[in-house]
């Protein structure tokens, strides 16, 4: 009985250590944080550059309806 109980305790301890030392989830979290950081930077850049972007699209659209040299 004591052997079975100590075997169970050791097995549970080994399971806990294995779960703590797993690294698969860490890489996923790191990539998710990088992706979130890049997304935030893009949103901030679009907010600050919205007027220039609007002018660029406007100029491009007007040059298509009035081609140069046409």
pTM summary value: 0.49
Residue 16 lies in a domain: no
Number of domains the chain contains: 1
What does the pLDDT read at residue 46? Answer: 92
CA–CA gap between residue 34 and residue 65 (Å, rounded): 41
33 lies in some domain: yes
Query: Using one digit for the tens of pLDDT, what is the confidence trace for 4-37?
Result: 778 888 888 888 787 777 766 667 788 899 999 9
Domain that holds residue 38: 23-64
Q: Is residue 55 part of a domain?
A: yes
């Amino acid at each position: 009985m004591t052997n079975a109980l100590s075997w169970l305790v050791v097995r549970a301890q080994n399971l806990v250590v294995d779960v703590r030392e797993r690294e698969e989830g860490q890489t996923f979290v790191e990539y998710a944080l990088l992706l979130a950081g890049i997304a935030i930077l893009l949103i901030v850049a679009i907010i600050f550059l919205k007027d220039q972007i609007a002018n660029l699209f406007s100029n491009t659209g007007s040059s298509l309806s009035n081609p140069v040299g046409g």
